[in-house]
Every structure is written in structure tokens, then in C-alpha cells.
């Protein structure tokens, strides 16, 4: 079984991502996304272990914000964009804005069973979550806002 902290450090070092550790085993990775135009963008992915999430087993959970949900958003676009997800999925979750106001947020998320996860799969899931969130963010909100 992988040691999450160690594998995250290795992924961050390999790809030159910034990795922050917060209390309670929560990590934030700043994933670099190369663009077709030759530029780059960054997308935060939050990662932690959730006990008993996967049929009573522990899972590595990660998510990345796309933007605040609004009833005026084109959900057809969201569903079409979700078709490109590999390890991740797009959903809406209860959240708070930067000032603490409750809201609903569109996120990309992935959950991997801890006991069968390895460094290669974790690396791919982190990148897929970041790219999926960044794509939906650009599609619906027009810019890199998260």
C-alpha cells in the first residue's frame, strides 16, 4: 500500500509542482498544465484520505474547483465536458466562497481505493483532475479563476 505523503512528494518533485501540506492530512498540489498555445496554467488539486469511503475501505480523494454554480450556467456544456474525464468526474458540491459565504461549486473529483492505488495511477488521477477542472473552468467561466 502506498504512503500518500511520500508519493505526493515524488510526484511534485518529478513534475516541479508546488505541494503544500495542511492539518489533518490534507495536501494541495499546484499542477502545471501546458497549453496548446505554448503557455501554461496552474490548477490546485486538493488530496486526502477518506476513511471507509470505498465499500468500507479507505480511498484517496481529490478535487479541484471549476467555479461557483449558478442556475444560468449551461449544464449541457458541463455534461459534454465530463465526457473527456478519465480518472475524474465533474459534480456539484456544497462549498464556501473566499469570504465564507455558502455556495454550490462545480468541481472535478476522483476517488481511488487506497489499497489498490499505486504511484502511476495517483499521478495520472491528479493530472486528470486538474486538466478536467481547468477545462470546465475555461468553458463555463472563461478564465483561470481557481
Model confidence pLDDT, tens digit, residues 91-134 = 999 999 889 999 999 999 999 999 999 999 999 999 999 999 99
Please report, for residues 38, 58, 127, the alpha-carbon distance to residue 115 in angstroms, rounded to integers and kept in the order given: 38, 8, 20
Measure the CA–CA gap between 69 and 91, rounded to whole angstroms.
10
Asked, for residue 114, whether it belongs to a domain, the answer is yes
pTM of the predicted model as reported, rounded to 2 decimal places? 0.93
Residue 67 belongs to domain spanning:
4-141
66 occurs within a structural domain: yes
Number of structural domains, the chain? 1
For residue 46, give the CATH number of its domain. Answer: 3.30.1460.10
CB atoms within 10 A of CB 48: 16
Q: What is the pLDDT of residues 35-91, one digit of tens each?
A: 888 889 999 999 999 999 878 999 999 999 999 999 999 989 888 888 889 999 999
Amino acid at each position: 500500500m502506498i504512503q500518500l505523503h511520500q508519493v505526493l512528494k515524488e510526484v511534485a518533485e518529478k513534475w516541479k509542482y508546488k505541494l503544500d501540506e495542511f492539518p489533518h492530512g490534507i495536501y494541495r498540489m499546484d499542477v502545471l498544465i501546458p497549453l496548446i498555445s505554448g503557455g501554461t496554467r496552474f490548477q490546485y488539486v486538493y488530496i486526502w484520505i477518506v476513511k471507509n469511503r470505498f465499500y468500507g475501505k479507505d480511498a484517496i480523494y481529490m478535487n479541484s474547483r471549476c467555479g461557483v454554480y449558478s442556475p444560468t450556467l449551461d449544464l449541457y456544456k458541463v455534461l459534454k465536458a465530463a465526457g473527456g474525464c478519465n480518472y475524474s468526474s465533474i459534480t456539484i458540491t456544497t462549498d464556501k466562497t473566499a469570504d465564507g459565504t455558502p455556495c454550490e461549486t462545480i468541481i472535478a473529483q476522483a476517488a481511488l481505493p487506497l489499497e489498490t492505488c499505486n504511484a502511476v495511477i495517483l499521478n495520472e488521477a491528479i493530472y486528470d483532475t486538474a486538466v478536467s477542472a481547468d477545462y470546465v473552468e475555461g468553458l463555463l467561466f472563461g478564465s483561470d479563476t481557481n
